[in-house]
């Protein structure tokens, strides 16, 4: 959420932000409601002041009975009028708040123009792209051939996009969680095991509501299942006042995640790329209210995830997201995309974003600066590692011609062997798509 005074003084910037992000929002609608809200608020405050003055006058010893009767009758009319105005103010406040949470944050000047992720700009590549003397298999073929996944029973049990990981895929997933929890914790991030259920306020505060409601699972108790640890972690700090000396706060949060993928019907329906239920390690940072601090931490968080991918020896590229691929609150975002040989393309594995005080205003997360002034923190987040999606590129980049998969050297000590290969060919599933 942006400050209403800033919106009033910079309505052209809000218009430009909406256009750049390709978001439908008319700032004039908000300003009209805001003007009505302020007018009614002034009227209510003036009438309340008159009521207080009359109450004080009635209590004075020098007042005559006639004056008291006159004031009481006058107050009755004033109360009725004020009650009507207060009811109108409540109605206007509902509409004002509805429009306020739709105001897009201002993207950084360096954000490129564009409609969607196809317009994102590559800024660097890392790692060595694997070369094959044969047609590389997909992760589906590889994992089913090694009896590591069951999509058929996954669909039977949990429906569309359901899956079971099996055998060494399960062991490797636990290795990945432990390895990268240690990786990020050793770099100064505090570990947090975050809940998957969160209230509506946490989703509004982080900007996922109202924009992305169709992508969320909702319970019968009016709670939502989170699609990222960012939501519960930011909710964790809601209404906090932090001392400046405690900033930055850096968290690495693990949580189960859920997304309906409502906007992606027919897209990536096979395999582990776009599933409804998954697990993530998520970086979250709170820092001082400074653009320079936000930029510094944004670059650092993204670099940490790049370092993590380099630890696995994976080939990837980093892109800066265009305006149309930014969320409502994001000022700037990087995506890290891993190379998927069977598709001859890159697939997003991580997003790193900063928001300035957009989320902190909604969640009332503040700090007291060294001069004693209360300020809203700046917030940032970045995917550290998502599972099972990372297995897609890992298995495909480390595959061997015989259908086995080499374990990245960094993980071999924890995993306990160098390869995953079929031990019981007769039990392996036939590759299915």
Which pair of tokens denotes residue 247?
Answer: 């900033």
36: nearest Cα among 82, 100, 95, 84: 95
User: pLDDT tens across 139-186, in order?
Assistant: 999 999 999 999 999 999 998 889 999 999 999 999 999 999 999 999
- Mean of pLDDT over the chain: 93
Instruction: Please spell the DSSP secondary structure of 34-89, one letter per residue.
Output: HHHHHHHHHHHHHHHHHHHHHHHHHT-TT--HHHHHHHHHHHHHHHHHHHHHHHHH
pTM of the model: 0.89
Average pLDDT over residues 264-280: 83
Burial profile 113-125: b = 16 or more Cβ within 10 angstroms, e = fewer: ebeeeeebeeeee
pLDDT value for 432: 44
pLDDT band at residue 433 under the 50/70/90 scheme? very low
User: At residue 41, does pLDDT exceed 80?
Assistant: yes
User: pLDDT tens across 327-370, in order?
Assistant: 999 999 999 999 999 999 999 999 999 999 999 999 999 999 98
Average pLDDT over residues 50-76: 81
Average pLDDT over residues 235-260: 96
pLDDT band at residue 264 under the 50/70/90 scheme? low
% pLDDT > 70, the chain:
96
Half-sphere exposure of 203 (CA within 13 A, CB side): 23
Beta bridge partners of 335: 319, 351
326: nearest Cα among 107, 12, 119, 122: 107
pLDDT value for 426: 45
Beta bridge partners of 419: 406
Residues 6+ apart with CB under 8 A from 66: none
Burial profile 165-179: b = 16 or more Cβ within 10 angstroms, e = fewer: bbbbbebbbebbbeb
User: pLDDT tens across 1-38, in order?
Assistant: 899 999 999 999 999 999 999 999 999 999 999 999 99
Hey, what domains does the chain have and what are their CATH numbers?
Answer: 4-100 (1.10.287.40), 117-427 (3.30.930.10)
**Residues that are catalytic:** 259, 274, 348, 351, 389
Q: Which residue has the tokens 């009319």?
A: 77
């Amino acid at each position: 959420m942006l400050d209403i005074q800033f919106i009033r003084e910079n309505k052209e910037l809000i218009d430009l932000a909406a256009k750049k992000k390709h978001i439908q929002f008319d700032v004039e609608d908000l300003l009209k409601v805001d003007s009505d809200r302020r007018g009614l608020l002034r009227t209510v405050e003036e009438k309340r002041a008159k009521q207080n003055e009359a109450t004080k006058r009635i209590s004075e010893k020098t007042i005559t009975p006639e004056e008291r009767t006159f004031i009481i009758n006058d107050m009755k009319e004033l109360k009725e009028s004020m009650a009507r105005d207060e009811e109108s103010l409540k109605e206007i406040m509902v509409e004002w708040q509805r429009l306020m949470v739709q105001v897009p944050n201002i993207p950084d000047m360096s954000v490129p123009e564009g409609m969607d992720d196809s317009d994102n700009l590559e800024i660097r590549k890392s790692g060595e792209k694997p070369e094959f003397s044969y047609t590389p298999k997909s992760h589906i073929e590889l994992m089913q051939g090694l009896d590591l996944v069951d999509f058929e029973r996954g669909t039977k049990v949990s429906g569309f996009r359901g899956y079971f990981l099996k055998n060494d895929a399960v062991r490797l997933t636990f290795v990945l969680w432990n390895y990268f929890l240690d990786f990020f914790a050793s770099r100064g991030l505090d570990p947090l095991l975050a809940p998957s259920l969160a209230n509506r306020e946490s989703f509004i505060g982080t900007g996922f509501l109202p924009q992305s409601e169709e992508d969320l699972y909702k319970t019968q108790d009016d709670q939502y299942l989170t699609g990222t640890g960012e939501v519960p972690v930011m909710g964790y700090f809601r209404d906090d006042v932090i001392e400046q000396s405690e900033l930055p706060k850096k968290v690495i949060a693990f949580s189960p995640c859920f997304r309906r993928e409502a906007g992606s019907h027919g897209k990536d329906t096979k395999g582990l790329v776009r599933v409804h239920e998954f697990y993530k390690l998520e970086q979250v940072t709170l820092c001082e209210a400074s653009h320079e601090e936000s930029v510094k931490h944004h670059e650092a968080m993204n670099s940490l995830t790049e370092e993590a991918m380099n630890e696995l020896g994976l080939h990837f590229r980093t892109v800066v997201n265009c305006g149309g691929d930014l969320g409502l609150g994001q000022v700037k975002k990087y995506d890290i995309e891993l190379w998927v040989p069977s598709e001859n393309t890159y697939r997003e594995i991580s997003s790193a974003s900063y928001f300035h005080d957009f989320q902190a205003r909604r969640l009332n997360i503040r700090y007291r600066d060294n001069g004693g002034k209360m300020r809203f923190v700046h917030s940032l987040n970045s995917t550290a590692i998502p599972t099972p999606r990372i297995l897609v590129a890992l298995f495909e980049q480390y595959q061997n011609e015989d259908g086995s998969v080499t374990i990245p050297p960094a993980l071999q000590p924890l995993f306990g062997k160098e390869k995953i290969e079929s031990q019981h060919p007769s039990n392996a599933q036939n590759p299915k798509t």
